A and B are shown apart, each in its own frame.
Chain A
Amino acid sequence: DTEVTQTPKHLVMGMTNKKSLKCEQHMGHRAMYWYKQKAKKPPELMFVYSYEKLSINESVPSRFSPECPNSSLLNLHLHALQPEDSALYLCASSLLHGGGRSTDTQYFGPGTRLTVL
C-alpha cells in the first residue's frame, strides 16, 4: 500500500493566522518531504527529513516551520503567511533518501490547497 495522507484538503487562512498541515504514512518509510506547487508549475522542494532529522532546507522563509515528531508523521507549521504563499502543498515519502537509488522513489499525498487572504 503506497498511501500518504494529508490533512486538511483545503485551508483558507489570514496573514496573521497560525495553522498546521499534517502528513502521515505507514509504509515504514524513513524519508519525508514537503513540496510547494504553484498553478501550472512542477513541484518545488521545500524540506527533506531523513530518519526524523532535517536533511534539506531549500532556503524556505522562516514563516514555514517543518516538524517531524516521528517516522510516520510530518507537519508544516504556518505563521504570518503572505498571499503569494497560496499554493498546493504536497507531502511525499520514500523508503530512504539520498544517493539516487531505487529506494528513493517518492510517493506523494493528495496535497493541501492553501489560500492566504
Chain B
Amino acid sequence: AQKVTQAQTEISVVEKEDVTLDCVYETRDTTYYLFWYKQPPSGELVFLIRRNSFDEQNEISGRYSWNFQKSTSSFNFTITASQVVDSAVYFCALTNFGNEKLTFGTGTRLTIIP
C-alpha cells in the first residue's frame, strides 16, 4: 500500500515571504516517482515536477525548489519570494513500479496575501 500525507491543510503567508509545503510518503517499493501539481482556482492541475526514487538531488526552478529526502520519506516544496499568483492548492502525488495509479495527498491550500 502507498500513502501520501500533506499535513498542512491551509497556509497563508504575506507576499514575498518564503513558504514550504510538506509532503511525506509511504511505499514499500524501491522504485517510485513523486510529483507535485498545482491547482489554481480555475481548476486545472498543472504539473510542476517529477522526481524518481534514485535521484535525491534537490532541484531548483526559478522561485521553486524541491527537497527530496529518502531517509525521512519526504519531498518538500519551497516557494521563495511568494507572489499572489502562487495562490492555489498544491498536491503531492506518488506512483511506483507495478502500481498503475497516482496516489494523491489531500492537498495544501496556499494563500498569498498581498
Pairwise interchain contact B100-A107, C-beta atoms closer than 8 A:
no
Pairwise interchain contact B50-A110, C-beta atoms closer than 8 A:
no
**B33 partner, pick from A104, A109, A110, beta carbons under 8 A:** A104
Q: Mark A87-108, 1 if CB is under 8 A from B, else 0.
A: 0101010000111111011111
Q: What residue in chain A is nearest B46 (Cβ atoms)?
A: A108
Pairwise interchain contact B50-A100, C-beta atoms closer than 8 A:
no
Q: What residue in chain B is nearest A88 (Cβ atoms)?
A: B43
Q: What residue in chain B is nearest A109 (Cβ atoms)?
A: B44
> How many interface residues does A have (CB within 8 Å)?
27
Query: A residues touching B (Cβ–Cβ < 8 Å)?
Result: 2, 40-43, 45, 48, 55-56, 88, 90, 92, 97-102, 104-111, 113
CA distance A65 to B99 in the complex (A): 24
Q: What residue in chain A is nearest B100 (Cβ atoms)?
A: A98
Pairwise interchain contact A100-B43, C-beta atoms closer than 8 A:
no
> How many interface residues does B have (CB within 8 Å)?
27
Q: What residue in chain A is nearest B42 (Cβ atoms)?
A: A110
B65 to chain A, nearest CB (A): 20
Pairwise interchain contact A110-B43, C-beta atoms closer than 8 A:
yes
**A106 partner, pick from B29, B47, B96, B99, beta carbons under 8 A:** B47
Q: What residue in chain A is nearest B44 (Cβ atoms)?
A: A110
A108-B37 contact, Cβ under 8 Å, with A43-B45, A43-B104: yes
Interface residue ranges of B29-84 to A (CB < 8 Å)? 29, 31-33, 35, 37, 42-47, 50, 52
CA distance A43 to B101 in the complex (A): 12
CA distance A111 to B40 in the complex (A): 12
CA distance A101 to B29 in the complex (A): 13
